[in-house]
Chains A and B, each alone.
Chain A
Amino acid sequence: MCKWVYSLKYKADGSLERYKARLVAKGFTQTFGIDYQETFAPVAKMNTIRILFSLSANLGWCMQQYDVKNAFLHGELEEEVYMDPPPGFSHSLLPNQVCRLKRALYGLKQSPRAWFERFTKAMVFMGYRQSQGDHTLFIKHSISRGVTILIVYVDDIIIIGDDFVERDKLRKRLSAEFEIKELGKLKYFLGIGVAHSEKGIFISQQKYILDLLKETGMVDCRPCETPIDLKHRLENDEEGATTDKGQYQRLVGKLIYLAHTRPDIAYAVSVVSQFMHNPKDSHLQAVYRLLRYLKFTPGKGILYTNHGNLNLECYTDADYVGALTDRRSTSGYCTLLGGNLVTWRNKK
């Protein structure tokens, strides 16, 4: 089963760039164990990406971005998958004939995994080593020149390092193997803006915040100077009016994504995400308050600068009596690499 999906691609200035037509398989008709087995495929961890930002700022590495065209179509299928002929194609086949797929299609359950496997194979073949701390990270050291690092997020690729000869070689081999588009110096990745200056590298999600405010009708809201009430009692709300669960979960999901460049909202986000299963009106109000804080600080992000060292530090703290209902404490930490903030966490 499959269908054609048509879409329009626009340039940044809003003019039409091209028409796209993509054959998409209906993955929901697949059955586990028959035409698919494993479906998991890793994506790059944000923590790894921030480590790479800190190293780049400290060591002066350069970051280039690429994307792979029609990435999933490169995946090789291990299972036997059959599909009805595409609409508009059936006249050239006998009735009751079907297609056997050799390569993955968009929409198949195993496509992301098949693509990642194919990509990993190609990288290992080129002499790159897959990191065990993050499987989407591939590394090659050359004896005299330096290092080349590649990190992949589905079809987005960042290449980092100081070995320009190897980078060039890698770029040529990748475009021979897959067809890739060169996007130049890393500027925008997964909704995160990356700005380079002589001070260092600055990452922020300003566009994402402004879009979120627009979407929630909060563009003209009254800004608020803090993300959450100091002495909130959100956990105690038992009787309050329930609110639309789907809408709440979508909103909080977006805030969780936003926290990639905003450690200042980590605590507030971890509080509001505790009520995903049964959100009350008071919780939704806390989310709106957080949006008003974002309105106050849309341009905030993290700056990665050269501190002249590569030391690892971790700061930890915990509260003991924060939660009144279940007495479980909240703990948090943040780690710095080379003086730059790379990871943090707030956990109840």
Chain B
Amino acid sequence: MSRSSAEAEFRSMALGICELLWMKIILEDLRIKWDEPMKLYCDKKSAIAIAHNPV
């Protein structure tokens, strides 16, 4: 259970990151080079701030 909307958004970011990391393993196995860093989008500023500053 999330106690704030930022926490809920943060949880979904964590889920999304898991998926990106799994895709990274597959793409590295295939030796696919991607051009830019992976991007993670989220529409909640406070959740992004928490993600940038793990305490």
A and B physically associate: yes
Contact surface of A with B, Cβ cutoff 8 Å: 47-48, 51, 55, 129, 131-134, 137, 139, 141, 147, 149, 309-320, 326-329, 331-333, 335, 337, 342-343, 345, 347
Interface: B1 (CB within 8 A): yes
Question: B9, B15, B16, B20: which has the most chain A beta carbons within 10 Å?
Answer: B16
Interface: B42 (CB within 8 A): yes
A27 → chain B, closest Cβ, in Å?
A: 33
Could you tell me the distance between the alpha carbons of A331 and B47 in the complex, rounded to whole angstroms? 13
- Asked if A312 and B11 sit within 8 Å, CB to CB, the answer is no
Could you jot down 24 A-B contacts, CB within 8 Å? A47-B22, A132-B29, A137-B29, A139-B29, A147-B31, A149-B30, A309-B35, A310-B32, A312-B23, A313-B38, A313-B41, A314-B39, A317-B43, A318-B8, A318-B12, A327-B1, A329-B5, A331-B11, A331-B12, A331-B15, A333-B15, A335-B16, A335-B19, A342-B23
Residue of B nearest to A161 (CB): B30
B40 → chain A, closest Cβ, in Å?
A: 5
Other 7 A-B pairs with CB < 8 A, given A310-B32, A311-B36, A329-B2:
A131-B29, A309-B35, A310-B34, A315-B16, A316-B40, A318-B11, A331-B8
A312-B23, A333-B19 known; A55 and B32 CB under 8 Å? yes
Question: B4, B32, B35: which has the most chain A beta carbons within 10 Å?
Answer: B32
- Asked if B26 and A134 sit within 8 Å, CB to CB, the answer is yes
Interface: B25 (CB within 8 A): yes
Q: Which B residues are CB-close (under 8 A) to A345?
A: 15, 19
Interface: B49 (CB within 8 A): no
Interface: B33 (CB within 8 A): yes
| Main secondary structure on A side of the interface with B | strand
Could you tell me the distance between the alpha carbons of A337 and B34 in the complex, rounded to whole angstroms? 9
A311-B34, A312-B39 known; A317 and B12 CB under 8 Å? yes
- Asked if B25 and A133 sit within 8 Å, CB to CB, the answer is yes
Interface: B17 (CB within 8 A): yes
A132-B25, A133-B25, A331-B15 known; A314 and B8 CB under 8 Å? no
- Asked if B5 and A318 sit within 8 Å, CB to CB, the answer is yes
- Asked if A316 and B16 sit within 8 Å, CB to CB, the answer is yes
Sort A-B residue pairs by CB-CB distance and give the 7 closest, nearest first: A331-B12, A133-B25, A333-B16, A320-B5, A329-B8, A318-B8, A133-B26
Q: Which B residues are CB-close (under 8 A) to A147?
A: 30-31
Could you tell me the distance between the alpha carbons of A67 and B31 in the complex, rounded to whole angstroms? 27
Could you tell me the distance between the alpha carbons of A310 and B2 in the complex, rounded to whole angstroms? 34
- Asked if B8 and A320 sit within 8 Å, CB to CB, the answer is yes
Could you tell me the distance between the alpha carbons of A75 and B35 in the complex, rounded to whole angstroms? 42
Q: Which A residues are CB-close (under 8 A) to B5?
A: 318, 320, 329
Could you tell me the distance between the alpha carbons of A93 and B43 in the complex, rounded to whole angstroms? 74
Residue of B nearest to A321 (CB): B5
Point out the residue from A139, A317, A320, A342 that lies within 8 Å of B42, measured CB to CB. A317
A329-B2, A343-B19 known; A316 and B34 CB under 8 Å? no
- Asked if A313 and B42 sit within 8 Å, CB to CB, the answer is no
Q: Which B residues are CB-close (under 8 A) to A51?
A: 23, 26-27
Q: Which A residues are CB-close (under 8 A) to B42?
A: 316-317
Could you tell me the distance between the alpha carbons of A319 and B42 in the complex, rounded to whole angstroms? 12
B50 → chain A, closest Cβ, in Å?
A: 13
- Asked if A314 and B40 sit within 8 Å, CB to CB, the answer is yes
Could you tell me the distance between the alpha carbons of A129 and B8 in the complex, rounded to whole angstroms? 39
- Asked if A314 and B17 sit within 8 Å, CB to CB, the answer is yes
- Asked if B41 and A315 sit within 8 Å, CB to CB, the answer is yes
Q: Which B residues are CB-close (under 8 A) to A318?
A: 2, 5, 8-9, 11-12, 44
Q: Which B residues are CB-close (under 8 A) to A315?
A: 16, 41
Could you tell me the distance between the alpha carbons of A249 and B2 in the complex, rounded to whole angstroms? 29
